[in-house]
């Protein structure tokens, strides 16, 4: 991580940074940006807990998916732009701070969007973020000629068109808003594909991998925080000490193992082309969304044990095991499987996913059982990757 410094001038030319720049690391401004996003992630998690605890699985999952997509996409827009064009001048810093303000406005509107489908405040936050982001792309267009200018203008145009679409959605009948959301989400996802068709921006593979990794850590940390608060509140109000401690211990094993497994493969070595980068980057919607949902699921499990959730023990267990399985499977598909050589290594994670899902039917004991399964998978993975006969067969892995 780079150290905090004074900005490098009031206004500098916004030219591309080298994709092979040495020692490229996340900046303190980027970390500040990520931490402010956690406010929105926490809001989405709280609404998910309430919905699932009341037995509203379908509407709760749908609301969470829609809200988390909006959170993730705003983060993605900034992250990839910063990887290519962070010139750290005063205007750049101010624009990022404006985006952070937009994130906080968006977070304030999450309860209304989640519970009542009222997206007005969330879209207002997006307007603030998009104004700053569009100005950044217009700066790139002004300071760079040829294909790079064309790509920047495509990005700016795409942002404006999509944002106008979100504003128009506010006037669509409530019954049709879900369909509008899906169409607009697809339009958003298509903007980078179209913009970078003829000219690819100079994002830095190692920097991008680090940024996604850091945000994954922050989201997992938010899961631990949410679960800890839930256990603490339950201990203050109830006497189910043994069951609560087992859920807390199992939840910690799940989160610790998720961290270990995610960072067991050098993600940056997969980012060798725009196509791979888009697949990997877009796939992280499921990784990050499921990572945040794990914490919400642990809260639901705690509320079920203490009688505050109106669902069965199996349903509460599923709130933990389903996002955990999705996290493992998506991470394996996007990166881990590409660094495995033997049949045992390649099959370890799919088998772990099946076993975690099977733990669902253990009810109250599902969380500690799933934690033990994941811890065992980590131990087996370490042993397999360090066998003498596998030396030199793979790229070195750094947990």
Count of domains in the chain?
Answer: 2
Residues 233 and 380 in one domain: yes
Residues 256 and 357 in one domain: yes
Please write the tens of the pLDDT for every residue from 331-372: 999 988 888 788 888 899 999 999 999 999 998 899 999 999
Residues 252 and 292 in one domain: yes
Contact 366, 359 (CB under 8 A): yes
The residue from 148, 166, 195 where one domain ends is 195
Residues 180 and 283 in one domain: no
Question: What pLDDT, on the 0 to 100 scale, is given for residue 389?
Answer: 57
Q: What is the CATH number of the domain that holds 328?
A: 1.20.1410
Evaluate whether residue 395 is within a structural domain: no
Least confident residue range of 177-186, 249-258, 299-308:
299-308
State both tokens at 38.
Answer: 């956690």
Residues 360 and 329 in one domain: yes
Evaluate whether residue 398 is within a structural domain: no
Residues 188 and 233 in one domain: no
Question: What pLDDT, on the 0 to 100 scale, is given for residue 270?
Answer: 85
pLDDT for residue 383 is more than 50: yes
Q: Which of 369, 378, 370, 275 is nearest to 322 (CA)?
A: 370
What is the pTM (predicted TM-score) of this model? 0.90
Residues 314 and 271 in one domain: yes
Question: What pLDDT, on the 0 to 100 scale, is given for residue 222?
Answer: 86
Question: What pLDDT, on the 0 to 100 scale, is given for residue 157?
Answer: 97
Please write the tens of the pLDDT for every residue from 122-154: 999 999 999 999 999 999 999 999 999 999 999
Structural domain range at position 290: 205-387
The whole-angstrom separation of Cα 210 and Cα 322 is: 26
Q: What is the DSSP string of 168-196?
A: HHTTS-GGGHHHHHHHHHHHHHHHHHHHT
Please write the tens of the pLDDT for every residue from 216-237: 999 998 888 887 887 777 777 6
Residues 302 and 331 in one domain: yes
Question: What pLDDT, on the 0 to 100 scale, is given for residue 6?
Answer: 63
Question: What pLDDT, on the 0 to 100 scale, is given for residue 340?
Answer: 79
Question: What pLDDT, on the 0 to 100 scale, is given for residue 239?
Answer: 59
The residue whose two tokens read 């980590």 is 378
Evaluate whether residue 89 is within a structural domain: yes
pLDDT for residue 2 is more than 70: no
Residues 136 and 264 in one domain: no
Residues 86 and 117 in one domain: yes
Instruction: Give me the helix-helix angle, 205-237 and 28-53, nearest 10°.
Output: 40
Query: Which is more confidently placed, 286 or 246?
Result: 286
Evaluate whether residue 394 is within a structural domain: no
Question: What pLDDT, on the 0 to 100 scale, is given for residue 387?
Answer: 74
Evaluate whether residue 5 is within a structural domain: no
Question: What pLDDT, on the 0 to 100 scale, is given for residue 398?
Answer: 36
pLDDT for residue 171 is more than 70: yes
Question: What pLDDT, on the 0 to 100 scale, is given for residue 158?
Answer: 97
Proportion of the chain above pLDDT 90, given as a percent: 72
Residues 114 and 36 in one domain: yes
pLDDT for residue 23 is more than 70: yes
Residues 70 and 110 in one domain: yes
User: Would the CA dihedral through 183, 188, 190, 195 be positive or negative?
Assistant: positive
pLDDT for residue 390 is more than 60: no
- Give the confidence band of 310 by pLDDT, cuts at 50, 70, 90: confident
Query: Which is more confidently placed, 69 or 12?
Result: 69
Query: Which is more confidently placed, 385 or 395?
Result: 385
Please write the tens of the pLDDT for every residue from 175-199: 899 999 999 999 999 999 999 998 9
Mean pLDDT, the chain, whole residue set: 90
Question: What pLDDT, on the 0 to 100 scale, is given for residue 344?
Answer: 86
Question: What pLDDT, on the 0 to 100 scale, is given for residue 378?
Answer: 95
Evaluate whether residue 397 is within a structural domain: no
Question: What pLDDT, on the 0 to 100 scale, is given for residue 336?
Answer: 83
Evaluate whether residue 372 is within a structural domain: yes
**CA of 151: how far to CAs of 37, 81, 88, 193, 199, in Å?**
27, 12, 21, 11, 6
Q: Tell me what the mean pLDDT of segment 84-99 comes to.
A: 94
Question: What pLDDT, on the 0 to 100 scale, is given for residue 393?
Answer: 45
Question: What pLDDT, on the 0 to 100 scale, is given for residue 206?
Answer: 94
What are the residues whose beta carbons fall under 8 Å from the beta carbon of 399, sequence distance 6 or more?
Answer: 260, 263, 264
The residue from 169, 195, 221 where one domain ends is 195
Question: What pLDDT, on the 0 to 100 scale, is given for residue 12?
Answer: 83
- Give the confidence band of 395 by pLDDT, cuts at 50, 70, 90: very low
Evaluate whether residue 152 is within a structural domain: yes
Least confident residue range of 3-12, 89-98, 180-189, 198-207:
3-12
| Three-state DSSP class for residue 296 | helix
């Amino acid at each position: 991580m780079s150290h905090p410094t004074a900005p490098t001038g009031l206004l500098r030319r916004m030219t591309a940074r080298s994709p092979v720049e040495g020692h490229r690391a996340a900046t303190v401004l980027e970390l500040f940006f990520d931490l402010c996003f956690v406010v929105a992630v926490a809001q989405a998690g709280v609404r998910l807990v309430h919905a699932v605890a009341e037995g509203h699985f379908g509407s709760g999952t749908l609301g969470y998916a829609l809200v988390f997509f909006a959170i993730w996409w705003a983060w993605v827009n900034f992250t990839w732009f910063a990887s290519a064009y962070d010139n750290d001048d005063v205007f750049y810093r101010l624009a990022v701070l404006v985006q952070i303000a937009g994130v906080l406005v968006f977070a304030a509107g999450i309860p209304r969007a989640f519970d009542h489908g009222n997206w007005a405040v969330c879209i207002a936050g997006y307007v603030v973020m998009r104004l700053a982001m569009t100005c950044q792309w217009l700066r790139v267009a002004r300071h760079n000629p040829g294909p790079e200018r064309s790509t920047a203008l495509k990005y700016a145009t795409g942002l404006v068109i999509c944002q106008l679409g979100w504003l128009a959605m506010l006037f669509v009948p409530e019954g049709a808003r879900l369909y509008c959301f899906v169409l607009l989400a697809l339009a958003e996802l298509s903007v980078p594909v179209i913009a970078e068709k003829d000219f690819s921006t100079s994002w830095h593979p190692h920097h991008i991998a680090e940024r996604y990794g850091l945000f994954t850590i922050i989201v997992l940390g938010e899961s631990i925080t949410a679960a800890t608060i839930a256990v603490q509140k339950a201990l203050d109000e109830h006497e189910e000490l043994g069951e609560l401690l087992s859920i807390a211990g199992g939840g910690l094993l799940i989160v610790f193992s998720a961290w270990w497994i995610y960072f067991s493969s050098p993600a940056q070595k997969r980012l060798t082309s725009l196509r791979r980068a888009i697949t990997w980057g877009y796939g992280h919607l499921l990784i990050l969304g499921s990572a945040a949902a794990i914490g919400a699921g642990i809260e639901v499990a705690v509320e079920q044990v203490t009688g505050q959730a109106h669902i069965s023990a199996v349903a509460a267990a599923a709130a933990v095991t389903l996002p955990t399985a999705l996290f493992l499977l998506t991470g394996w598909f996007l990166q881990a499987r590409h660094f495995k050589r033997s049949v045992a290594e390649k099959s370890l994670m799919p088998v772990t996913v099946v076993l975690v899902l099977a733990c669902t039917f253990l009810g109250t004991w599902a969380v500690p059982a799933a934690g033990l399964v994941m811890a065992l998978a980590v131990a087996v993975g370490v042993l397999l990757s360090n066998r003498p006969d596998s030396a030199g067969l793979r790229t070195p892995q750094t947990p």
